[in-house]
Structure 1
């Protein structure tokens, strides 16, 4: 007699998803993937509610602030706005994880917005690299049509790929574990592009003699910020999903918490879009310089007293 499969626990101990509600996986490795996805939401309903209540107002405020820069300075931080919009949708999907009836659609939407966010983070890195390495070409190709086409591609392409992925998964055209393996390895491609852009930008800035050190930091700051965010908040959970070690459930919960903090950190990109960003970056240097001067004055005073 065939026994029923045990329920799979999701984000809350009272919420269960039985294996009958999900498409049965064919191969043994693919069973680990279901467990991995359940580990993504082990942070708990309380934590998700708290972090969402903080992130949603901040992201809405950041979107409004970045949009106001377009009217004030006639600039177009379009990719930052799109990134924040994808983060906002992703946070709403996090809240839907607490409802068993909405688990599938919320997971699908979260996958879509996650890859949309990866796309726009890569676009920010590429745009910054082109701005630094090829400023003349960047100025000539900077148009509304280009931004609109790139933004639409960022939203439509991941959506189409996710739909194709689900169809292939449903009809068993390609083995499940191969499809999910591709899904988990794709973020590494975005990460590689961001690293290449960062290294290329650093090399270009090292040969520049017309920019002051503070100006160089200001130009490179958004790209460095995107790289650090991707490295420490997004990449850890992706690596654990690829490794699929059964003894890393606590690591899955920890890296899941880091991943959920990514939308909150993305709001800080607004700082680097401000016209007074140079003053913000210069402030720590001024404070350290003032502290160094005070220390030197104190040492001079103590030397005079000893004399």
Structure 2
């Protein structure tokens, strides 16, 4: 029994090691390319790419920390930097959702208030809050208390992301100044942000708050892998803000839906005849 359990643990560790290597080798170059591509998309008065660039920068920092861990650099400063970048990525996900919500719900207010300077100030505030969030680690607070603090910090944005998505969908009918294609892009971006947060961050929150699941090796590995996969998942933000890519995807989806409706209607007519 001990031999089989040790072999199982070794198999899980080897799979996690391979997964992290794949994330590092693919994430580093793709994130750098995405940062350059999103930077080229920035136009005067557009603030969404600013938040996406900062999100990708936080992902780049996380990938560098993962590479340092795999290189054998197990220092506390690397852990602090990783938590700093991870908290910053959650903050920028909230900024992206809020900014897209304001486009639909408060279009006139957003049109007169949006500018690059304001976006940069918000980004500075997010980085400052991310830096302040891991101060309990530096103050020698109990490790279990620190885990609960981070779990609460990670859990707070979840209802806010749901509010932004639901509020945006409700305000779509009244937003006449926003084109239909832009509405579809905004909703798609909000859905992607909520899915990334739900699938990749909530397992770690559950691991921190529920003591019973900490001793489950499978769930422990799953929560760790989900956090490591978040930099790759955030790359989908680039396709959500790039008009050409999203338009082709949305048009193809709409075309497939129209074909399905035509086929179903023709089948119904044939059955009636």
Cα offset, 1:213, TM superposition: 6.0
Q: State the partner residue of 2:3.
A: none
Distance change >3 Å, CA 99–CA 52, structure 1 → 2: closer
2:139 corresponds to 1:139? no
CA RMSD of aligned residues (A): 2.8
Distance change >3 Å, CA 42–CA 74, structure 1 → 2: farther
The match for 2:24 among 52, 62, 75 is 52
Q: Which digits, 9 at most, give the CA deviation of each residue in 1:145-202, with x for residues without a partner?
A: 211111111222211332x212321xxxx54433331122111111122112122212
Q: State the partner residue of 1:187.
A: 154
The match for 2:198 among 218, 231, 239 is 231
CA distance in 2, matches of 1:45, 1:176: 25
Normalised by the size of structure 2, how large is the TM-score? 0.83
2:212 corresponds to 1:249? no
Q: State the partner residue of 1:283.
A: 252
Cα offset, 1:240, TM superposition: 1.5
CA distance in 2, matches of 1:254, 1:167: 28
Cα offset, 1:103, TM superposition: 3.9
- Number of residue-to-residue matches in the alignment: 260
Structure 2: runs of 5+ lacking an equivalent: 1-8
The match for 2:77 among 102, 105, 111 is 105
Q: State the partner residue of 1:27.
A: none
Structure 1: runs of 5+ lacking an equivalent: 1-11, 14-38
* Residues 1-307 of structure 1 mapped to structure 2, 5 A cutoff: 44-70=16-42, 75-76=46-47, 77-162=49-134, 164-169=135-140, 175-208=142-175, 215-245=182-212, 246-276=214-244, 277-290=246-259, 293=262
Q: Which digits, 9 at most, give the CA deviation of each residue in 1:112-139, with x for residues without a partner?
A: 1000000000001111111111111111
Bigger Cα Rg:
1
CA distance in 1, matches of 2:145, 2:193: 29
Distance change >3 Å, CA 65–CA 217, structure 1 → 2: same
Cα offset, 1:239, TM superposition: 1.1
Normalised by the size of structure 1, how large is the TM-score? 0.75
